[in-house]
Structure 1
Amino acid sequence: MTKAKFMIALSLSMAAAVPALAANPMVGGAPMYETKTIVENAVNSADHTTLVAAVKAAGLVETLQGPGPFTVFAPTNAAFGMLPDGTVETLLKPENKAMLTKVLTAHVVAGDWTAAKIAQKARMSRDGLANFTTVSGDALSARMKDGMLYVYDESGTVARVTIADVDQSNGVIHVVDHVLVPK
């Protein structure tokens, strides 16, 4: 065997021995890096500019750059756009910072909850729901239905997870199609 053939055979056998790493999904046209924090990745997503502006206005940037782990159900710009007219603008006013913080932290659960872990927790419950208390102290429930993950808030909003399991250095993001509303 020539040296060149040996090197090719060696590199092929080494490649076969190394498991393939699943790449994080793209979000808002941007790559999401598992080595970056929730905030560091979110600022690059064109679909989350409203969420990023809200996180900044609420003073939650430092918190969401912390060690976590956090699970964030991240509403898209389109989800914020479904709120009644003027809601986002009102929430972003400095005098409404406490209300904005409550809304945003109602999207955050302590821990690293992948879709598979959420589905397993739901399967193990009597009612088929995985129940969580958010950082705001509000309740969220989640379940798998027809192969999709859905999140339910206390106000009756049902958000569908459109992109699951976006790994971050300090947790995981699940992109959702509705803003979750605390009571």
Structure 2
Amino acid sequence: MMDNPKEFVEDWNIIQTLGEGAYGEVKLLVHSVTSQAVAMKIVDLKKHRDAADCVKREERLHRLLVHPNIIRLFGKREESDKVYIFLEYAAGGELFNKIEPDIGMSCKEAQSYMIQLMAAVDYLHLKGIAHRDIKPENILLDENGVVKISDFGMATVFRLRGKQRKLEKK
């Protein structure tokens, strides 16, 4: 953690960088009064000109999703060439970090994660949404070890109003 948190907006401090992705980075924000923590995805549209449409699609899809195993979207803020997406903070980190190289994890632990993951994927598919980038780095855990699917940047709708389409590249 940083010794001197940087104030982002009134009473919200940027504590640390949680990770980086193709279009930007994710930072931890903590409210100085309530101690509430949120993840803030920052996309620099100047650096990534093709990101604007992707961010809009990601936000539209993510707003439709309310499930205990899917990271919640709290909102979005735009300033000149930057987009800030505010998400539920998963204090347990990435599932990737729970997998021991050349060992894996216990069957009981893997079963628990898999059951939660399948519940989330089933929910997405019932909504007509395909995530298209499920991997251990995009499966987060909250402080209680509850699975949370994140990163809907590649997600798309495959079924809308009863009509289904074949997914190809986009």
**Normalization by structure 1: what TM-score?**
0.30
Q: Answer 1 or 2: higher relative contact order, Cα 8 Å, separation at least 6.
A: 1
**Rg larger for:** 1
**Normalization by structure 2: what TM-score?**
0.32
**Which protein is richer in strand relative to its size?**
2
**Which protein is richer in helix relative to its size?**
1
